[in-house]
Amino acid sequence: MLRTIKLIVLAVIMAAIVVLALANRGPVTLNLLPEGVANILPLSVEVPLFAVILASILAGLAIGYILEWLREHKHRRLAAEKKREVGKLAHEVEVLKKKHMSPEDEVLAILDQKTGHA
């Protein structure tokens, strides 16, 4: 059900993009530099308006993705540190179990039977 709704929403978005592109096929002049600098180094391109709109949307998405990735860096680093710590502690527990567990240790034997590690 949720997948169907997702596909419908994506189809509506794609249809809106196609309609936007068809309605804005006319060429526009895209000046890559301001007018004062353009006299020295003229950089302008004629492109369809929908290309400018779609390129702007894609650039905004890319910039937002990069900024979010950078913002979450500290969380990913902390998660990796905690994962390494958990691995070290789990290894230490296994070493201690092997070292201190003996057949005459009744408490550990009972705990192992309850957890199924026998």
Rounded distance, CA 26 to CA 89, Å? Answer: 65
Q: CA 92 to CA 24: how far, in whole Å?
A: 66
Domain ranges of the chain: 2-71, 74-115
For the question of whether the overall pTM of this predicted structure is more than 0.85, the answer is no
Q: What is the pLDDT along the chain (118 residues), one digit of tens a residue?
A: 899 999 999 999 999 988 988 898 899 988 888 877 767 777 888 999 989 988 998 999 999 999 999 999 999 999 999 999 999 999 998 888 887 766 556 666 677 676 665 5
Bridge partners (DSSP) of residue 47 are 28
